[in-house]
Copies of this chain bind each other. A is one copy, B any other.
Amino acid sequence: MSDPSNQINTQLEELSLKVKSQGELIRTLKSKPTTEKNPTEISEQVEILKQYKTTLEDFKKSNGLDLTTTTNQNPSKPTTKSKSKSKTAEPKFQLKVPKGTKDHHPKDMILREKIFQTITKVFKLHGAITIDTPVFELKEILSGKYGEDSKLIYDLQDQGGELCSLRYDLTVPFARFLAMNAKEFNTIKRYHIAKVYRRDQPAMTKGRMREFYQCDFDFAGTTDPMVADAEVLTIACEVLQELEVGEFTIKVNHRKILDGIFSLCGVPDDKFRSISSAVDKLDKMSWLDVKKEMTEEKGLDPVIADQIGEYVKLKGSEELLQKLSEDSKFMNNKSAKEGLNEMILLFKYINVFGITPKISFDLSLARGLDYYTGVIYEAVVEGSAPPVPLPAQVQSDPSNQSNSKSISKKPSEEEEIDETTIGVGSIAAGGRYDNLVGMFSSGKDQIPCVGISFGVERIFTILKSKQENELKSKEVDVFVMSVGDGLLLERMKVCKELWDVGISAEFMYKVKPKPSKQFETVEKDFIRFAIILGPDEIKLNQLRIKEQLGKDQNIESKDKDGILINRNEMINWLLERLKK
Residues of A participating in the B interface, judged by any CB pair closer than 8 Å? 1-4, 6-8, 10-11, 17-18, 21, 24-25, 27-29, 41, 45, 51-52, 54-55, 58, 80-82, 90-99, 101-106, 109, 112-113, 124-141, 143-145, 147, 154-164, 166, 176-177, 179-181, 188-190, 195, 197, 199, 211, 219, 221, 223-224, 227-228, 230-231, 234, 238, 269-270, 272-273, 348-349, 352-354, 370-371, 435, 439-442, 473-476, 488-489, 492-493, 496, 499, 502-506, 509-511, 525
Distance, CA A440 to CA B127, complexed state (A): 47
Pair A82/B435 contact, Cβ less than 8 Å: yes
Pair A227/B353 contact, Cβ less than 8 Å: no
Pair A129/B473 contact, Cβ less than 8 Å: yes
Residues of chain B lying within 8 A (CB to CB) of residue A441: 95
Instruction: Name the distance in Å between A460's Cβ and chain B's nearest Cβ.
Output: 12
Instruction: Name the distance in Å between A259's Cβ and chain B's nearest Cβ.
Output: 11
Distance, CA A189 to CA B144, complexed state (A): 45
Instruction: Name the distance in Å between A176's Cβ and chain B's nearest Cβ.
Output: 7
Pair A238/B161 contact, Cβ less than 8 Å: no
Q: 3 smallest A-B Cβ distances: which pairs? A: A223-B509, A101-B134, A51-B160
Determine which of B29, B94, B137 lies in contact with A138 in the assembled complex, contact meaning CB atoms within 8 Å: B94
Tell me what chain A mostly uses at the interface: helix, strand, loop, or mixed. Answer: mixed
Known A24-B29, A158-B52; judge A510-B224 contact (CB<8 A).
yes
Pair B234/A496 contact, Cβ less than 8 Å: yes
Residues of chain B lying within 8 A (CB to CB) of residue A493: 352
Name 8 A/B residue pairs within 8 A (Cβ), A-sorted.
Answer: A80-B269, A98-B136, A99-B161, A112-B132, A155-B156, A155-B159, A227-B509, A234-B496
Residues of chain B lying within 8 A (CB to CB) of residue A195: 135
Residues of chain B lying within 8 A (CB to CB) of residue A473: 129
Pair A103/B134 contact, Cβ less than 8 Å: yes
Residues of chain B lying within 8 A (CB to CB) of residue A349: 489, 492
Pair A440/B95 contact, Cβ less than 8 Å: yes
Instruction: Name the distance in Å between A450's Cβ and chain B's nearest Cβ.
Output: 10
Pair A103/B91 contact, Cβ less than 8 Å: no
Instruction: Name the distance in Å between A119's Cβ and chain B's nearest Cβ.
Output: 14
Pair B2/A474 contact, Cβ less than 8 Å: no
Given A11-B139, A55-B163, A109-B131, 19 other A-B residues pairs in contact with their CB atoms under 8 A: A1-B145, A7-B140, A54-B160, A81-B270, A92-B442, A94-B140, A95-B180, A97-B134, A101-B136, A105-B131, A109-B132, A127-B476, A134-B211, A135-B195, A135-B211, A221-B509, A228-B509, A348-B489, A349-B489
Residues of chain B lying within 8 A (CB to CB) of residue A81: 269-270, 272
Residues of chain B lying within 8 A (CB to CB) of residue A135: 135, 166, 195, 197, 211
Pair A154/B162 contact, Cβ less than 8 Å: no
Pair A238/B133 contact, Cβ less than 8 Å: no
Distance, CA A99 to CA B96, complexed state (A): 31
Residues of chain B lying within 8 A (CB to CB) of residue A439: 1, 4, 93
Name the CB-closest residue of B to A345. Answer: B511
Residues of chain B lying within 8 A (CB to CB) of residue A180: 95-96, 103
Distance, CA A527 to CA B25, complexed state (A): 65
Determine which of B4, B162, B211 lies in contact with A99 in the assembled complex, contact meaning CB atoms within 8 Å: B162
